[in-house]
Structure 1
Amino acid sequence: MKDFFAGFGFVLEGLRLIRRPVLRRFVLVPLAIDLLVFGGLLGVAWHFFAQLMDRLMGQLPDWLHWLQYVLWPLFAVSAGLVIFYTFTITANLIAAPFNGLLAEAVEKHLTGQPPPQASWGRILRELGPALFAEVKKILYYLLRALPLALLFVVPGINLGAPALWTLFNGWMLSLEYLDYPMANHHLLFPEPNRRLKNRRLLGIGFGLGCLLLTLVPLLNFVAMPASVAGATALWVRRLRPAAAPPA
């Protein structure tokens, strides 16, 4: 269980790391973009709803104008629910291109040395293997997720299915986030799986910590960058080759 709690601890370290001034911009820039996108969409929705209300009130008799005091709060609540359930998803999509840069900056902060820089020629050569690695990752997930999903309909066994599903998703999150710092060293899937093969509790503890972050209001907004930073710290301190010890 020591590895499990150590893995969970790297998530907390990730939260601390993204507060460092040198790393903060990798969190604030995508978050600011997301706020601008949602603010713009909300402004447009508010404008069109106001126009709709004006037309509606113009067609209703005076004694029904009280409906606007019901419809406006209903619109506000609906908009709030949409933002609550979609903000994190959108934030993750917007932040995704920054994750490799964040992992690189965190590694440089922890070790004093950035990952090796790749030339355009090498990037183009590795494009095919990188896409193939993503396909392998998807197949790895499906070949395990589908049998686990079937457990939910097996009487008796289905009682333990939610716990197994949660553990599996924690494991997959650890592989997903470790992919960012390891890809900076040209180590593609299934290499994260190989590195954690004999330390699965370390990966599960880290992944469950990442999953927990997504469930906590406000913290879920920074769940992805904190997880990327934590995964990079995990890579630097526990999974890098012994020939390259952390500073």
Structure 2
Amino acid sequence: MKDLLLGASYIPRAFGQLLRPGTRRYVLLPILVNVLVFIGLFWLAADQFAALLAAWLPDPSAYSGEGAWNGFMRGLLSILAWLFWPIFVLAAGILMFYSFTVVANLLGSPFNGMLAARLERELSGGRQPPELPGQGIALEAAVSVATELRKLAYFALLALPLLALSAVLFFVPVVNLLIPFLWAAYGGWVMALEYMDYPMANHGYRFAEERALLRRRRGLAFGFGLGLLAMTLVPVLNLLAMPTGVIAATWLWHERLRAQSAG
């Protein structure tokens, strides 16, 4: 329990440091990129939805004649068009809310490694992580995105047995109450792996090695991951979850895990 609370305590600590000079650009630029991408996707989806409605719903002007039937059809089509748009906005909002963290991590991955390195240089008195960097920005960005895709594939595979178990437990009274807790544990572990990767990868750790080290400090990792998971579930705050996670992970690595990994 002590490690669980200790891991979670890094989230509010990191949140208070988001706009410090030197880290501000690594925080604001990825958020701006993600917001612009989601605005563009929403505009594109709305345009396609309007075209779909135009194709599937008859034009009310086709019932411009006199008579009760024409009046009824004009009213019905107007009501349907009015109803479909709020449903679209609600569905798009829910999809954006739940997909924001995934997309943000994918688009922000090149910035996250740099933020972790920048912060660790400050924490270690100017010493640079040994693996950083000897390659161009474009290549580094490509490697970061490829790494992020590999992590997403691992997380998806990890979810498959949990999905199967949840499907079985769903039909077992009382025991099915465990399902949300199982998924919370999954989310906490995923968050820990996702963000601890940035400072650890800067030191040359492979993903399998990162998992092995975090298993040795499972309570610390789960506390950190669950604290960050809670932040992603709060609207507006979830916009800041990614840089908060990178800063918290870097502190956690520097203060708690780095010495243990060397030993």
Q: Are residues 1:119 and 2:171 paired?
A: no
CA distance, structure 1, for counterparts of residue 211 and residue 43 of structure 2: 45
Greater relative contact order (Cα 8 A, min sep 6): structure 1 or 2? 1
Q: Percent identity?
A: 38
Task: Name the Cα RMSD after superposition.
Answer: 3.9
Describe the shift of the 1:199–1:148 C-alpha distance in structure 2 as closer, same or farther (beyond 3 A): farther
- One-letter identity of the residue aligned with 1:13: R
Partner of 2:116: 103
* 1:151–1:157 CA contact under 8 A, matched in 2: no
Q: C-alpha displacement at 1:163, in angstroms?
A: 1.9
Q: C-alpha displacement at 1:105, in angstroms?
A: 2.2
- In the TM superposition, 1:7-86 aligns within 5 A as 7-44=7-44, 49=50, 52=54, 56-61=59-64, 63=71, 67-68=77-78, 71-72=81-82, 74-86=84-96
What do the CA deviations read for 1:111-140 (whole angstroms, capped 9, x no partner)?
A: 34332324349x99xx8xx97xx58x9399
Q: Are residues 1:138 and 2:151 paired?
A: no
CA distance, structure 2, for counterparts of residue 98 and residue 68 of structure 1: 47
* 2:34–2:104 CA contact under 8 A, matched in 1: yes
CA distance, structure 1, for counterparts of residue 45 and residue 167 of structure 2: 40
Deviates more, 1:64-73 or 1:111-120: 64-73
Compute the TM-score of the two structures, normalised by the length of structure 2. 0.71
CA distance, structure 2, for counterparts of residue 110 and residue 162 of structure 1: 37
- One-letter identity of the residue aligned with 1:138: Y
CA distance, structure 2, for counterparts of residue 226 and residue 238 of structure 1: 17
Q: Are residues 1:211 and 2:225 paired?
A: no
Q: C-alpha displacement at 1:23, in angstroms?
A: 1.7
Mark the runs of 5 or more structure 1 residues left unpaired by the alignment. none
- Between Structure 1 and Structure 2, how many residues are aligned? 235
Q: C-alpha displacement at 1:224, in angstroms?
A: 2.0
> Which of the numbers 104, 122, 127 marks the counterpart of 1:91?
104
Q: C-alpha displacement at 1:9, in angstroms?
A: 0.9
- One-letter identity of the residue aligned with 1:85: L
CA distance, structure 2, for counterparts of residue 6 and residue 199 of structure 1: 11
- One-letter identity of the residue aligned with 2:184: T
CA distance, structure 2, for counterparts of residue 41 and residue 140 of structure 1: 23
Deviates more, 1:57-66 or 1:3-12: 57-66
Q: What secondary structure, in the 3-state scheme, does the structure 2 residue paired with 1:20 have?
A: coil
Q: What secondary structure, in the 3-state scheme, does the structure 1 residue paired with 2:259 have?
A: coil
Partner of 1:188: 206
Describe the shift of the 1:147–1:109 C-alpha distance in structure 2 as closer, same or farther (beyond 3 A): same
Q: What secondary structure, in the 3-state scheme, does the structure 1 residue paired with 2:199 have?
A: helix
